[in-house]
Structure 1
Amino acid sequence: MVRTLVFDVGETLIDETRIWSRWADRLGVPRFTMLGVLGGMAALGQSFEEAFQLLRPGFDVEAEQEAWKRDDPDGLRVNFDADDLYPDVRPCLAALRDLGYELVIAGNQPPQAYDALAAMDLPVDAIHTSDGWGVAKPAPAFFARVVEVTGREPGDILYVGDRLDNDVLPARAAGMRTALIRRGPWGYLHALRPEAAGADHVVDGLDDLVSVLGVTKV
Structure 2
Amino acid sequence: MIETIVFDIGETITRDDRYWQGWADWLGIPRHTLSALVGAVVAQGRDNADAVRLARPGIDIVAEYQAREAAGRGEHLDEGDLYDDVRPALSALREVGVRVVIAGNQTSRAGELLRDLQLPVDLIVTSGDWGVAKPQPEFFQRVLEVALAAADATLYVGDHPANDVFPAKAAGLRVAHIRRGPWGHLWADDPEVVAAADWRIDSLTQLAEIVAV
Q: How many residues align?
A: 212
Question: Paired residue for 1:153?
Answer: 150
Matches within 5 A, 1:63-142: 63-71=63-71, 73=72, 75=73, 77-142=74-139
Residue identity matched to 1:209: L
Two-structure CA RMSD over aligned residues (Å):
1.4
Could you give the per-residue CA deviations for residues 129-180 of structure 1, whole angstroms, max 9, x where no partner exists? Answer: 1121121111111111111122211000000001111111111111110001
Residue identity matched to 1:87: D
Distance 1:70 1:119 in 2: 21
Distance 1:155 1:22 in 2: 39
Q: Which runs of 4+ in 1 moved over 6 A?
A: none
Question: 2:6·2:147 contact (CA, 8 Å) conserved in 1?
Answer: no
Question: 2:132·2:138 contact (CA, 8 Å) conserved in 1?
Answer: yes
1:41 maps onto 2:41 in alignment: yes
1:31 maps onto 2:31 in alignment: yes
Residue identity matched to 1:54: L
Question: 2:75·2:110 contact (CA, 8 Å) conserved in 1?
Answer: no
Distance 1:136 1:66 in 2: 19
Distance 1:126 1:67 in 2: 30
Distance 2:26 2:11 in 1: 21
Distance 2:15 2:3 in 1: 26
1:209 maps onto 2:213 in alignment: no
Report the TM-score, using the length of structure 2 for normalisation. Answer: 0.94
Question: Paired residue for 1:54?
Answer: 54
Per the TM alignment, residue 35 of structure 1 is displaced from its structure 2 partner at its CA by 1.1
Per the TM alignment, residue 24 of structure 1 is displaced from its structure 2 partner at its CA by 1.1
Per the TM alignment, residue 56 of structure 1 is displaced from its structure 2 partner at its CA by 1.4
SS of 1:54's equivalent? Answer: helix
SS of 2:124's equivalent? Answer: strand
Question: 1:23·1:78 contact (CA, 8 Å) conserved in 2?
Answer: no
Q: Percent identity?
A: 48
1:168 to 152, 165, 178: 165
Per the TM alignment, residue 42 of structure 1 is displaced from its structure 2 partner at its CA by 0.7
Question: Paired residue for 1:200?
Answer: 198
SS of 1:59's equivalent? Answer: coil
Could you give the per-residue CA deviations for residues 45-82 of structure 1, whole angstroms, max 9, x where no partner exists? Answer: 111121122111112222222322333x2x4x333233
